[in-house]
Amino acid sequence: MKVHNFSAGPSILPKEVLQESAKSTLQLKNIGMSILEISHRSIDFLNIINEAKTLTKELLDIPNTHEVLFLQGGASLQFYMSALNFCGKHKCSGFLDTGIWAKKAINEAKKVSKTIKIGSSSDKNYSYIPKNISFNEDFDYIHLTSNNTIYGTQIHSFDFINKHIKTEKLICDMSSDIFSRRIDIKNFDLIYAGAQKNLGPAGTTLIIIKKDSLTNKEDRPTYLDYRTHINKESLFNTPPVFSIYVSLLTLRWINKNGGIINIEKKNIEKSNALYNEIDRNSLFFGLVEKDDRSIMNATFDLYDQNLKRKFEELCNKERISGINGHRTTGGFRASMYNALEKESVNKLIEVMQTLENKNKK
């Protein structure tokens, strides 16, 4: 029986990707070895990582000014690594504070330079994206988090920040919405994203970096210097071979299914259907401002908390998994990453309607 996986991450992957990757753990193609055994210097793996980079560039329309890397450490390492590499003459960086992940990035950057919040939505429990930003100092870079998995907010347009940027560089953590929609890559100096949402299993981190942005010539620890990985083409040390391979399979799946344009269309359809039900259903309400609702993570709750157990029981009966909200926010969260089918969203809507019908006053 099908499980409807709404987990926030590690998240659902396409079935065909899971099937192919499972076969590869026994034998990759017909080479007589598992994907877990092959050398990262072998022609087989070089073909894998080079195709993954090429597909990433094609799907996201990445200009030649930018380099694609597959590294390790997740977004958590990038909080510090990005600050270390982009801290320059001003020794000051600007952050848009939109939740826990932005706060973690701020805390790591503080170890490198002065940090200033150019805007924050903490006053309303991060239920919106702050648009009234303030540039009172010179910054080396501005840091954003494009999608906030915990709170369910998303930056739908970057125009409000781009119009303020003059000499500052722009960095964005896109861990939870990379490959879900079209993005104008040329506006960013650095994009980083953990794989475990729309790309593959945890273990690798996608880096998209503008090569001429690395103007800071200060000496840095070798591994924490982006120039090291650009020069070594992501092969400075043994890379996470399996995670990169599964990411390649996912990129092939995206490409085969109409690319980013079609993926974005489907994601909008799924999220619109669920948000329409949240707004229509007399038992539920959304937790964030409508204009800033994420197409990846819908957060909502029940007016009557006495119905929570009944709702969870209905979800369990229909094999709906991963629906509980984050421990810091409570309520419910439906993560609708690329591989989640509309069928699963419809099943959740059906359960919400069943609960309403059984509890009409």
Dist. CA 35–CA 39, nearest whole Å: 9
Q: Is 212 a catalytic residue?
A: no
Give strand pairing partners of 169: 141
Which H/E stretch holds residue 248?
A: helix 241-256
Q: Is 101 a catalytic residue?
A: yes
| 68 dihedral zone (left: phi>0; alpha: psi -120 to 50; beta) | beta
Token pair of 157, please?
């347009």
Q: Is 44 a catalytic residue?
A: no
**Which of 97, 140, 173, 301 is an active site residue?**
173
Which H/E stretch holds residue 285?
A: strand 284-286
**Which of 53, 169, 197, 266 is an active site residue?**
197
Give strand pairing partners of 206: 70, 193
Token pair of 334, please?
């439906």
Pairing of strands 205-210, 66-71: antiparallel
Let me know: does 198 contact 338? Beta carbons within 8 Å. Answer: yes
Alpha helices in 257-307 (DSSP H): 259-280
Sheet holding 169-173, edge to edge: 66-71, 205-210, 190-194, 169-173, 141-145, 92-97, 114-120
**Which of 101, 103, 177, 189 is an active site residue?**
101
Residues acting as catalytic residues: 101, 173, 197
